[in-house]
A and B are shown apart, each in its own frame.
Chain A
């Protein structure tokens, strides 16, 4: 087929190109620029090459030590909240009613925490947990537990984790519920006929059918928890000591507290890169598992090359694409 050659068509791309240039590329390049330089104020900059990056990845330096420690805390935090929120979300979704007015009631109640702004959530828990005036803190102390999130590291961690679970388990539950609702009744009836136990129904029907939404839930929760800033900052301010200082909090301290633009720029680039890589791996695994299954379900020979799941980084930022 002959195609008309018309180079003017490039102009159609121009508006998007401009918007992306100003909203993403230029700011990003500014950060890259900063990350290569050092400044002592007065808007004077000195070339530093990859010095900041070397320092960042070297635990013996101050910058590297702080970064790697906060990175470790962040990874631990993400792992813990995923380990709690995903199973809990599934359990909540499974115990939700399937029809009647109570469905709407459940959905509204579940959606409530999701609608509260981050800093308000932080404030709620900050006050809730205070030993002097907070309901939770007061009751715990009254019962004989020496609970104080300002002075005790474990208490601070528990508070931040419980707060995140309170805030975000709903999201996992709602996603799982959507997955569960899409299972036709015939599956449950067939399982009944086949004499399947409750556990067998979960393992053979519900879990496989929730597979896709669960991966999306994990992806979303990982990204969000890895970038968490507002809530722990409002509750603990990163303390006591540095015990709840996550990477984003460290970043703000360096960038705005110390005004070390070079270090902060290098840190934010590496931070960004880690999130991209982890999400990319997730996304690739997800889509590949999905396309393979789909291709075969349509009766195509398994040997046929899969549609190249070229995972553009942009795809990572739009995990909803995976739902389709």
Chain B
């Protein structure tokens, strides 16, 4: 159990001299606190598995340090790091029973028999594996095998962190929910630091109290699900989290006003004069834009179609060449395909070169 600090950690698979842009993981400095439930979220190839493998020691970093409780463990091998990791596909030791599989990480570390048995019993109970303890591990379904893999990750009580690398990929959707809530419950019960890699935002947002979003080898934001939703630090976060994603519209911004195609939208904060030469955009989530009957004070848009998500309806609209999604208020109706857009100024954010600009209140 430990606090994990990453100091300027970076990884390049094509040598340390390669240009920084080609690094699989660009230098990152961050802290994972003891006992936290983290999700590492990002699309395939964004470097999240690399980051995980660096922490567990399967990959040796090109640059930087990893500290467990302030102690530099970068040169240590995986075995000596005291870390547990669960992989995407189940790894089962074929010749052993389920119980022996669970006991394997403990036995390898020379832990006393009685303690091993107690711990295996506890973990098997938590994962509903007790009836299978004496059965050969090969004789089970993929779900059960992955549960064993999870169990092996959780069985050691002294680990600095348990790392999950998309562990529920092979599991049926229905069982996924159960296992995820189970993991969440285990997290509360066992007081372990857990880092959960996934490309599925639902999985990340339901599992973690802190979500770390990665994009193109960089950590672009880390925060609670609410923070990611309300105030994305990067246009990628806005776009990646939420369904549909955030509307990103090129605009001119000065002071309290943003200008789209000559139309002025009020902003809550004062942005003064933004540096020239940067790409300025405003971002607003579809939930905070309403369509309304066309009126002279509103930005007018062309409605292309309306998606009915059951609980809520989103209109897909076009302003000039930019496509947006906007909420359809209950009882809205309009003749023709032209509508006005009503923005909620509190949730309109300004981005310069994709990064959030904090205005002055």
Contact = CB atoms under 8 A, between A and B. Distances in A.
A205 B136 CA distance: 15
Given A204-B96, A205-B93, A189 B108 contact: no
A195 B107 CA distance: 9
A242 B323 CA distance: 93
Interface in A173-196: 184, 186-187, 189-190, 192-196
Contacts of B88: 186
Contacts of B94: 208-209
B108 A195 contact: yes
B104 A194 contact: yes
A317 interface: no
Contact of A197 (B58, B108, B153): B108
Interface stretch (B79-87, B172-180, B196-204): B79-87
A297 B139 contact: yes
Given A186-B89, A204-B104, A293-B138, A192 B95 contact: no
A192 B58 contact: yes
B93 A204 contact: yes
A171 to B, nearest CB: 25
A296 B138 contact: yes
Interface in B276-301: none
Contacts of A192: 57-58, 77-79
A299 B141 contact: yes
Contacts of A196: 104, 108
A162 B141 CA distance: 47
Interface string B22-51: 000000000000000000000000000000
Contacts of A296: 136, 138-139
User: How many of chain A's residues touch chain B, expressed as a range?
Assistant: 20 to 34
Nearest to A195: B108
Interface residues of B, number: 29
Contacts of A195: 79, 105, 108-109
A184 B149 CA distance: 15
B288 to A, nearest CB: 43
A130 B74 CA distance: 59
A106 B78 CA distance: 29
Interface string B141-175: 10000000100110000000000000000000000
Nearest to B85: A193
A196 to B, nearest CB: 5
A200 interface: yes
Nearest to A190: B91
A270 interface: no
Contacts of B85: 189-190, 193
A189 B87 contact: yes
B56 interface: yes
Contacts of B109: 195
A297 B56 contact: no
Nearest to B140: A299
A302 interface: yes
A195 B184 CA distance: 26
A296 B145 CA distance: 13
Interface in A218-245: none
Contacts of B56: 193
Nearest to B163: A193
Contacts of B78: 189, 192-193
A200 B106 CA distance: 13
B58 A208 contact: no
A297 B138 contact: yes
A184 B89 contact: yes
Contacts of A184: 89
A189 B85 CA distance: 9
Nearest to B162: A193
Interface string A30-41: 000000000000
Nearest to A294: B138
Contacts of A302: 139
B48 to A, nearest CB: 16
Contact of B87 (A186, A200, A293): A186
Contacts of B58: 189, 192-193
Counting chain A CB atoms within 10 Å of each CB, which of B56, B88, B108 scores highest?
A: B108
Contacts of A197: 108
Contacts of B153: 193
Contacts of A293: 138
B350 to A, nearest CB: 44
B95 A208 contact: yes
Counting chain A CB atoms within 10 Å of each CB, which of B56, B78, B96 scores highest?
A: B78
Contacts of A209: 94
A190 B83 contact: no
A213 to B, nearest CB: 15
Q: Which 7 A-B pairs have the closest CB atoms?
A: A190-B91, A195-B108, A194-B105, A296-B139, A192-B78, A204-B93, A208-B94
Interface of B: 56-58, 77-79, 83-85, 87-89, 91, 93-96, 104-105, 108-109, 136, 138-141, 149, 152-153
20 contacts: A186-B87, A189-B78, A189-B87, A190-B87, A190-B91, A192-B57, A192-B58, A193-B58, A193-B78, A193-B105, A193-B153, A194-B104, A200-B104, A204-B96, A208-B94, A293-B138, A296-B136, A296-B138, A296-B139, A299-B140
Interface of A: 184, 186-187, 189-190, 192-197, 200, 203-205, 207-209, 293, 296-297, 299, 302
Given A204-B96, A208-B95, A296-B136, 15 more contacts: A184-B89, A186-B91, A190-B91, A192-B78, A192-B79, A193-B58, A194-B104, A195-B108, A196-B104, A197-B108, A203-B95, A207-B95, A296-B138, A297-B138, A299-B140
